[in-house]
Amino acid sequence: MDLPSSVVISEEGPREGFQIEPGPIATADKIALIDALSACGLRRIQIASFVNPKHVPGWADAEAVIEGFTPREGVEYSALWFNERGLQRALAVREKLTLTGFISLSASEPFAIRNLNRDRAGQIEAMRKYVRVHREAGVPIAKIIVMAAFGCNFAGDVSPAEVVETVSDARAIARDAGVEVQDVTLADSMGWATPRRVADAIGAVRESFDDLRIALHLHDTRGQGIACAYEGLRLGVTAFDAAVAGLGGCPFAGQPGAPGNIATEELALLCEEMGIATGLNIEALIEAGRLAERIVGHRLPSAALRSGTLAAFRRRAA
């Protein structure tokens, strides 16, 4: 079995999770979860979203969260924004953040229309402006994100050819702006991925762009997330997004109650138990996941929160 020797798992729980939860989450609770996650060995944590508080009231306190958390040496803290106003808010608190922009395009036009009120041309135009604004502000464009890369609740199946086309669009935007981008994240925004679709999309992107590194952002909407992550590992993918306890989900997918991102501690368990180093402390992640459950006030999807790691049982058995 030819698997990578190590992977990097980027934590998106705070940003994704607190965006979708219906109830107001106290700023202090958000800070407590970020600080708990900082102690888990993570190298990248996305901690806030600079979005319009009218649309996403759960992130009205982004500045207060960033002011309040305690950064840990060696951890990159990032935030998300979609427009110039968001960028300006991020720039105002940049001393505690690693600021990077993304060229983010949906491979499904119906999803982009529903989610962002933009068709394909509108997405491209918006991203050209986004890249220009970031260049002017001196903020690097770190990667391409292909949303709805494996299928879409509003369009149905998304083909590998559509993914390649979307990556092409993004590279054209980058090239025209004089930006070099080496990383692409294929995001299963609505839980359509299967291992076969993961293999097909990765194969098609690699065939068309042999200089791009592929990362996976998987949702567990239909319980297939960890199998898709495993297929990614088999194909040599070494960068994954995940969310502690399975926090999050896509607010635009129209499936309330469905699980969100694959759970960080379950992905770490998969990797570590197959000899793939993650640098993560799974037991600390499980404790952080239990804290997340107390904060949101309901059960989160992760099975590992209930069962614990195998390491703990090995210690007891020994």
Q: Could you tell me which residues come within 8 angstroms of residue 288 by beta carbon, excluding any fewer than 6 positions away?
A: 33, 36, 37, 39, 40, 244, 245
Shortest spacing between CB 241 and a copy of itself, in angstroms? 16
Q: Is 153 in the site for a copy of itself (CB under 8 A)?
A: yes
Shortest spacing between CB 292 and a copy of itself, in angstroms? 15
Residue that has been written with the tokens 């980027």 in this structure:
10
| Residue 178 vs residues 41, 132, 167, 186, 267: alpha-carbon distances, Å | 35, 10, 16, 23, 36
Instruction: Please say if 250 is a catalytic residue.
Output: yes
Q: Is 192 in the site for a copy of itself (CB under 8 A)?
A: yes
| CA-closest candidate to residue 214, choices 223, 222, 203, 225 | 203
| CA-closest candidate to residue 160, choices 193, 189, 191 | 193
Order of strands, sheet of 101-106, starting from the edge strand that comes earlier in the sequence: 76-81, 44-50, 8-11, 239-242, 213-217, 183-187, 141-147, 101-106
Q: Is 231 in the site for a copy of itself (CB under 8 A)?
A: yes
Q: Is 255 in the site for a copy of itself (CB under 8 A)?
A: yes
The window from 24-32, 45-53, 168-176, 265-273 that contacts a copy of itself (CB under 8 A) reads: 265-273
Q: Is 101 in the site for a copy of itself (CB under 8 A)?
A: no
Shortest spacing between CB 119 and a copy of itself, in angstroms? 16
Interface residue with a copy of itself among 23, 24, 57, 156 (CB under 8 A) is 156
Q: Is 248 in the site for a copy of itself (CB under 8 A)?
A: no
Q: Could you tell me which residues come within 8 angstroms of residue 30 by beta carbon, excluding any fewer than 6 positions away?
A: 14, 18, 47, 61, 65, 295
Q: Is 82 in the site for a copy of itself (CB under 8 A)?
A: no
Q: Is 188 in the site for a copy of itself (CB under 8 A)?
A: no
Residues known to be catalytic: 250
**In the complex, which residues of this chain contact a copy of itself (CB under 8 A)?**
1, 3, 110, 151-157, 191-192, 194-197, 199, 220-224, 226-227, 229-231, 255, 257-259, 263, 266, 269-270, 273-275, 299, 301-304, 306-310, 313-314, 316-318
